[in-house]
Amino acid sequence: MTVDPELLIHSDAGDLAFSVASRFVTALVDAQSTGAVAQVVLTGGRVAAAVYSAVAESPARVEVDWRRVEFWWGDERFLPSGDPERNETQARDAFLSALDVDPARVHPMPADTGQGAEAAAAAYAEELAAAGSPTFDVLMLGVGPDGHVASLFPGYPQLGVTDAAAVAVHDSPKPPPTRVSLTLPQLNRAREVWFVVSGSDKAEAVAKALTEGDVPAARPKGRNRTLWLLDEAAAEKIPNT
């Protein structure tokens, strides 16, 4: 069961990143309060990098047992390991390298080693299954100007895949052309889905997702909560805000 999305609008990208970082730390503390291992899905992009840096700099980060956090990714650019364009590289540089995480609980999507994106997607699906197909506590997503989420693009057949946890994506409309992405059913395996979006270039896509429902970003829903965490620029085309 899902609930209606909630909007939280921040003054600018910096305020947004600070607020999301604080919310993220609190969510992990809450998830661990019962003794559970927290399950989170990371995203990429400019605002995500700012959020991760804010987490690393937050004094409250010490409240989290980082060795009891499982880190997953919603999508990945299919590039060699360590490539600066990979979401994994961005997250490691911004905050994972600064935290006492358990390396066995960091689950990057496979890098391009010549095996092909289909094999990489299958391997990631197997890794999720081996972990018990977890229900994620927090799943963070960005939104593209075309309304895509993860690497699920408008009009692409991967949007309709329901029998796999992860898929290969070819001929992406934004570089690099080859990617790996979680599917919509997998994105919907989260207690809370957070859309973290900044910038006026995303405003039209945000408004469409919230009012028309005809873009991929309209489809992921948290089981308990769906949050749209925006700055004023990203929210500027939402009616009545």
Single pTM value for the model: 0.96
Residues 6+ apart with CB under 8 A from 135: 39, 189, 190, 191, 223
DSSP states along the chain = -----EEEEESSHHHHHHHHHHHHHHHHHHHHTTTPPEEEEE--SHHHHHHHHHHHH-GGGGGS-GGGEEEEESEEE---TT-TTSHHHHHHHHTGGGS---GGGB-PPPP-SSS-HHHHHHHHHHHHHHTT-PPEEEEEE---TT--BTTB-TT-GGGG--S-SEEEE-S-SSSSS-EEEE-HHHHT-EEEEEEEE-SGGGHHHHHHHHHT--SGGGS---SSEEEEEEEHHHHTTSTT-
* Whether the predicted pLDDT of 3 surpasses 90: no
Mean pLDDT of 143-166: 98
Q: Is the pLDDT of residue 183 over 70?
A: yes
User: How far is it, in rounded angstroms, from Cα 79 to Cα 110?
Assistant: 9
Say if residue 241's pLDDT is above 80.
Answer: no
The C-alpha atoms of residue 89 and residue 108 are separated, in whole angstroms, by 9
Q: Which fold has domain 6-235?
A: Rossmann fold (3.40.50)
Which tokens sit at 236?
């500027």
Residue spans per domain, the chain = 6-235
Q: Model confidence at 86, in pLDDT bands (50, 70, 90)? A: very high
pLDDT of residue 213: 85
pLDDT for the residue numbered 212: 85
